[in-house]
Structure 1
């Protein structure tokens, strides 16, 4: 059974495969980016199917989306917190999406219950908004 830091690492490593990444979540597991609500974006998915669809939608517009420079800062059996970066081209705008995420993961019974991520909304807005 994977602990929180192992689950976070597995999620980050498998972001290019939405089905694999989503399978790490519990049936009622949640992926959310609440800071995007300030941009009018509902970035909350519940359950593996919705999470896979969410990640898949992102990859359609940012196919080279991959996490790097992963730093796990807090690691316990049931929680992990880390920072990780992305640098990839957004197809719809042709702009570079350069971002550092901060993510808190809560695990239960070897599955992700919650992954809440924060990001720089200004950088996201600049990359995803056409000129």
Structure 2
């Protein structure tokens, strides 16, 4: 499994969602479910918990950013087992996520140049 970057990145995300890893990340991605993962592409479902909500019951923006960063890192890592890329995050949402609301998080590599950068998305 160590030789397969897609499986390695999935294991890393899955371990985080089960509480293994840094405490902040573990709390932030607790319960994350990987729906689909290919080289350079990760699609996940996530239910917002009260542990990562603000006083008004909205998904805390810091927790949202951490989850998006981790899913994006997994997508980039799946290209070759290391992260050597510039990242451009594009986040779209229609409303504030509340406690117990399910959201979909998708990350994909869009392209790159040079031998150490990502190639075109294949998902």
TM-score band (shorter)? 0.3 to 0.5
The TM-score with structure 2 as length reference comes to 0.40
Q: Provide the TM-score with structure 1 as the length reference.
A: 0.39
Q: Which has the higher strand share?
A: 1
